[in-house]
Amino acid sequence: MSFKFEELRVYQEAILFSNSIYKLSIQWPSQYRYNLTDQLIRAALSIPLNIAEGSSRTSKDFQHFLSIARGSCYECIALITIAHQQKLVSLQQRNQLRDTVESISKMLSSLKNKI
């Protein structure tokens, strides 16, 4: 069985982003485990989860869930910045992650406007 949201490119990109956050943050020292790591993982997961859940609702509700997903993108940007300042991610990693989040955020806005 396939769900319609699984066909959305923004959902697929958000899943890839979430997985990359898991792979990256699992390497961080344990002192960051219950704050920065967990918060970044939750924010990253919130993006595809809100796309999935919102797709089962009315168009107006779906737009609201897409807005929440976009807010999670902004949260990821702040957390990635903090991780960089804590020297947990390199400048190159930070820039790559920011580019990915920016792309997902734009796709969310575009999808919201099409609904």
CATH of the domain at 42: 1.20.1440.60
Query: How sure is the predictor about 30, in pLDDT bands with cuts at 50, 70 and 90?
Result: very high
Domain that holds residue 18: 7-114
The total domain count for the chain is 1
Q: Computed from CA positions of residues 22, 81, 12, 115, in that sequence, does the dihedral angle turn out positive or negative?
A: positive
Lowest-pLDDT choice from 16-20, 24-28, 65-69, 72-76: 24-28
Q: What is the DSSP letter of 69?
A: H
Half-sphere exposure in the Cβ direction for 82 (13 Å, CA): 13
Q: What is the pLDDT of residues 60-110, one digit of tens each?
A: 999 999 999 999 999 999 999 999 999 999 999 999 999 999 999 999 999
What is the average pLDDT value for the chain, to the nearest integer? 96
Give the predicted TM-score (pTM) of the model.
0.95
Distance (Å, rounded) from C-alpha 66 to C-alpha 112?
6
